[in-house]
């Protein structure tokens, strides 16, 4: 289940609808996006689909790149919003959600 457009608006503002479209794209569609094409060119090995998706969303949200940390339950990927407790897009336990990565870090690390 993906976040709603209303929920995504906390991170993406007026671009929330486009963010939802990117979340629904398959790999072939992601590879057509300019940001993803740049990401593919800079990688020696093909990046994972989640990496391409988060790269496209990073540009849309105007955040500071894709970051990650490991918890006992798995890796938490997030768009760096510049503050631990700013709402951002998170990929954790194979699920996209809007929240603060600091809350996950406090709970699991």
pLDDT tier for residue 52 given thresholds of 50, 70 and 90 = very high
Q: Pick left, alpha or beta for residue 62 (phi over 0 → left; psi -120 to 50 → alpha; otherwise beta).
A: left
Residue 62, number of CB atoms within 10 A of its CB: 11
**pLDDT mean over 85-94:** 96
Looking up tokens 């407790």 gives: 85
- Contact of 80 with 86, CB cutoff 8 Å: no
* pTM, full prediction: 0.93
pLDDT value of position 109: 72
């Amino acid at each position: 289940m993906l976040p709603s457009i209303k929920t995504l608006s906390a991170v993406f503002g007026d671009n929330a609808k486009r963010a939802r479209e990117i979340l629904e794209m398959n790999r072939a569609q992601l590879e057509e996006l300019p940001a993803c094409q740049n990401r593919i060119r800079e990688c020696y090995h093909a990046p994972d689909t989640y990496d391409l998706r988060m790269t496209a969303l990073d540009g849309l949200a105007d955040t500071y790149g894709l970051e990650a940390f490991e918890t006992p339950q798995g890796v938490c990927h997030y768009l760096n919003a510049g503050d631990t407790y700013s709402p951002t897009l998170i990929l954790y336990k194979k699920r996209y959600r809007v929240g603060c990565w600091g809350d996950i870090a406090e709970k699991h690390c």
